[in-house]
Amino acid sequence: MSSEHSPALAARAAQQHIVIIGGGIGGLVAARECAKVGMRVTLLEASGALGGSIRSVELDGITVDAGAESFATRGGHVKALVDELGLADAVVPPQGGGAWLSGIPDAPDAPLPKGSLLGIPANPFQDDVRRIIGWRGAWRAYLDRLRPPLTIGHERSLGKLVGSRMGARVRDRLVAPVTAGVYSADPDDVDTDVAAPGLNAALTRIGSLTGAVGLLAAERKGTAPGSAVLGLVGGMGRLVEALRADLLAYGVEIRTGARVTHLERERAEWSVEIAPSLEEGADADAAAPLRATGVIVATAEPSARPLIDAHVSGLAEVGDAPEIEIVTLLLDAPELDAAPRGSGVLTVPGSHIAKALTHSTVKWGWLRDAAGGRHVVRVSFGSQGEAAATAALDDDAAAALALSEASALLGVPLRPAQLVAAHRARYVQAQPTSLIGATERRAAVRAAVVAAPGLGIVGAWVAGTGLAQVIPDAVAEADRLRASLLWD
């Protein structure tokens, strides 16, 4: 862009009004991208708080993450945003060693094996692997190295690849707990090339799945354990607060408790209708429809579809999104000081009610210091195709179930009297990009939305789960929309 065009472009930007529907991380980032070029931006959030899946709560005076507690380092996009917002000094790696596996048939709980890829071992006879799959499973997995190279084909399903080459014990006892904990998905539904880039190619080169895992592990050598994710001292809520402050500095109008009920396209503008507030003394003008030259829908799929269906033709379903619940417990339990299960526990699917557990005061040093000798434990419920066991329970019953599951997963008897405080958070977890067909479905949704003038869409259901996917996608989609308004 040449300097002589800048004044005209700035004037054109100032004429635009962008309405962002949804105050999750995707909406906040999209609002920032539009505001920083001089566009007028209004952000509407239906709930009383910003952040979406990033939620901070206080448990007996301690601020803890009730949703996302870390971000993936891949791509560097999240770290770049964190640095831009002045939070570089707050970035910390996780601590506390590895996770454990619970619910192994006919075997005690054990640490997850080292040197594996999505649970796939490089050496099935390694002690920490054999402890989980047994001698029978180890010898079956060893057959992978004896299969003729000509039988190797490109297998899209991770579960089918592992099961056919290494057997059911490796798939069910090692891989399934990882895919359930990371993606809330069965390994048969996980796309090998998306979840484990390079694995199929390495398998073709080496001739065995164990050899391929070993090759990829060697290529990753030098990467510090746990460095794939990072957190923030004080919790991920600091990212939301920093974004909020940045938006206000850019002049963005932020409204919480503002639920959008309808979008209408009128000539070259949008009319954004907002539900009247039920609060006594609420400003009636706050519910007046907004006029906008551009709209970015940044909500979860269930609330996005009623708004955009009438304006987007051929909008395919991305798929069912599981409702996940995380129950966070603050415990006065000195018996947990020894970190009996490291930083957390994954479960063999079907063995426990809970999907996973994180021992947060072991994983994050800053939280351990803030807790003053007490322990924070997060218990996760729900997965793809399976409702959270806590969904129909009241808060007290959900906390009691979480405490019971924590006791079982940590291998330490925990009493109700040790529970200082609890919090439950429910959110819709979008289908991960790693599911077979998810990339194609999302591309179809994006193509359909692009055809609607002045409309954009961001968030995990179109970008994939995790900040490392949501943030760059929100930047790209906001850039696309603002370019169409400023140049077309």
Name residue, tokens 């004080």.
Answer: 234
What's the pLDDT at 282?
A: 47
**Which residues touch 331 (CB under 8 Å, ≥6 apart)?**
374, 375, 376, 377, 406, 414, 418, 419, 420
User: H or E stretch including 482?
Assistant: helix 467-487
Tokens of residue 377, six digits: 């434990």
Q: What is the DSSP letter of 466?
A: S
What's the pLDDT at 149?
A: 58
Give how far the C-alpha of residue 282 lies from the chain's centroid of Cα atoms, to the nearest Å.
Answer: 35
* Spans of the chain, pLDDT less than 50: 1-4, 150, 222-227, 280-282
Residues in the chain: 488
Structural domains of the chain in order of their starting residue, each with its CATH number: 3-50+235-317+435-487 (3.50.50.60), 56-97+229-234+320-428 (3.90.660.20), 115-219 (1.10.3110.10)
Beta-carbon count within 10 A of 385 CB: 11
Q: How far apart are CA 72 and CA 78, in angstroms?
A: 8
What's the pLDDT at 151?
A: 53
What's the pLDDT at 3?
A: 40
What's the pLDDT at 96?
A: 77
Name residue, tokens 């800048």.
Answer: 6
**Which residues touch 135 (CB under 8 Å, ≥6 apart)?**
none
What's the pLDDT at 6?
A: 75
Residue 335 and residue 347 in contact, taking contact as beta carbons nearer than 8 Å:
no
What's the pLDDT at 26?
A: 97
> Is residue 252 packed enough to be buried (19+ CB in 10 Å), middle (13-18) or exposed (0-12)?
buried
Is the dihedral angle over the CA atoms 361, 367, 371, 372 positive or is it negative?
positive
What's the pLDDT at 267?
A: 84
User: H or E stretch including 159?
Assistant: helix 158-166
Any idea what the Cα angle at residue 446 is, between residues 442 and 448, rounded to 5°?
115
Is the dihedral angle over the CA atoms 168, 171, 173, 174 positive or is it negative?
positive
The model's pTM is 0.90
Tokens of residue 387, six digits: 């409702």
